[in-house]
Copies of this chain bind each other. A is one copy, B any other.
Amino acid sequence: MNPKQSIPTFDDIHKAAITIKPYAHITPVLSSSLVNERTGAELFFKCENFQKVGAFKFRGACNTIMTLSDEDASKGVATHSSGNHAQALALSAKLRGIQAYVVMPENAPKVKVEAVKNYGAEITFCESTLEARESTLQQVVEKTGATFIHPYNDSRVIAGQGTAALEFLSSNPDLDVLLTPLGGGGLLSGSSISAKTLNPKIKVIGTEPELADDGFRSFQSGNIEPVIRTDTIADGLRTSVGDLPFQIIKQHVDEIVTVSEESIIEAMRFIWERMNMIIEPSCAVPVAAIFEGKVDVRGKKVGIIITGGNVDFGNLPW
């Protein structure tokens, strides 16, 4: 239970890109003239919804698992998650040929449980409270000796997530602004290191739902502020910002903005209908920030990392 806590360097991200290369997709960058007309900007979408397991989370989990020592790896890896990190961990472990142990709440969506199972992970169910998840994970780790892989508060995970922006700035070096969603902060922090190293003039902006604005408030105060509400539709962003990502965000990120639930849903449907991509509500948050006018993009080249496309088709917001 000891995630690696140093701040990753650009060199760590570069090494992570080499580590995950045999396993991860180089995701496409798409654009849409309809979106450009609506916003008066040139928007570019780095499509991590087409990444392995349908989300950028594969990058961080894969980098971490592939760089474990053989001794640690032989005992397996463990986490608690009902989301994309669980699938990312399960597939990465399968690719390394080791066991993954995933603690999931009893009420996790069946489709997510099935996906994790299909990748060969051993699932332990628990009550859906954070306490139950943590104590069950503790038991699993004690019993198996597996290494706990935190979804974002780990240097190796952050370095992996930073490879998406590394690829993005390599294919689109002249971006003026880069937007990502902000949940635990793994993606935003890793992206900010890559982006500011490759182009010190780029503006890096984190985006959050108003109903999960702990990152915004923390950025304002300079200290990690508690989560107050977690009822946003953007389920990937309900988590609170981690210490390690927050240190990086304070240093490299220019601004954090928040958006309403209505505009998240509207932006999500717009991307589905006009760009023919399935994106999660969390991915719609940076798009909503632009549509709402929370970020000034007119005349600029704007990059957005589309984080994932794992959606419950039985529970769409329209």
Chain A residues close to B by CB (< 8 Å): 25, 28, 30-31, 33, 49-50, 52, 54, 269, 272-279, 309-310, 313, 318
Q: A50-B30, A52-B33 are in contact. Are A276 and B273 (CB under 8 A)?
A: no
A42 to chain B, nearest CB (A): 14
- Residue on B nearest A306 in the bound complex, by CB: B276
> How far, in whole Å, are A278 and B279 apart by their CA atoms in the complex?
10
A83 to chain B, nearest CB (A): 15
Q: Assess the B313–A272 pair: CB atoms within 8 A.
A: yes
Cross-chain contact of A28 among B30, B33, B52, B313 (Cβ < 8 A)? B30
Q: Assess the B276–A309 pair: CB atoms within 8 A.
A: yes
Q: Assess the B276–A276 pair: CB atoms within 8 A.
A: no
A46 to chain B, nearest CB (A): 12
- Residue on B nearest A54 in the bound complex, by CB: B276
> How far, in whole Å, are A276 and B31 apart by their CA atoms in the complex?
17
- Residue on B nearest A95 in the bound complex, by CB: B33
A14 to chain B, nearest CB (A): 24
> How far, in whole Å, are A279 and B33 apart by their CA atoms in the complex?
19
Q: A28-B28, A28-B30, A30-B28 are in contact. Are A275 and B50 (CB under 8 A)?
A: yes
Cross-chain contact of A276 among B30, B33, B50, B318 (Cβ < 8 A)? B50
Q: Assess the B278–A49 pair: CB atoms within 8 A.
A: no
> How far, in whole Å, are A318 and B316 apart by their CA atoms in the complex?
13
Pairs A-B, 5 closest by C-beta atoms? A276-B309, A28-B28, A276-B278, A49-B276, A54-B276
A68 to chain B, nearest CB (A): 22
Which residues on the B side are within 8 Å of A309 (C-beta)? 276
- Residue on B nearest A269 in the bound complex, by CB: B313
Which residues on the B side are within 8 Å of A275 (C-beta)? 50
Which residues on the B side are within 8 Å of A273 (C-beta)? 313
Which residues on the B side are within 8 Å of A49 (C-beta)? 276
Which residues on the B side are within 8 Å of A318 (C-beta)? 313
Which residues on the B side are within 8 Å of A25 (C-beta)? 30-31
> How far, in whole Å, are A133 and B275 apart by their CA atoms in the complex?
30
Which residues on the B side are within 8 Å of A279 (C-beta)? 276
Q: Assess the A272–B276 pair: CB atoms within 8 A.
A: no
A116 to chain B, nearest CB (A): 14
Which residues on the B side are within 8 Å of A269 (C-beta)? 313
Which residues on the B side are within 8 Å of A310 (C-beta)? 276
Cross-chain contact of A277 among B31, B52, B278, B313 (Cβ < 8 A)? B278
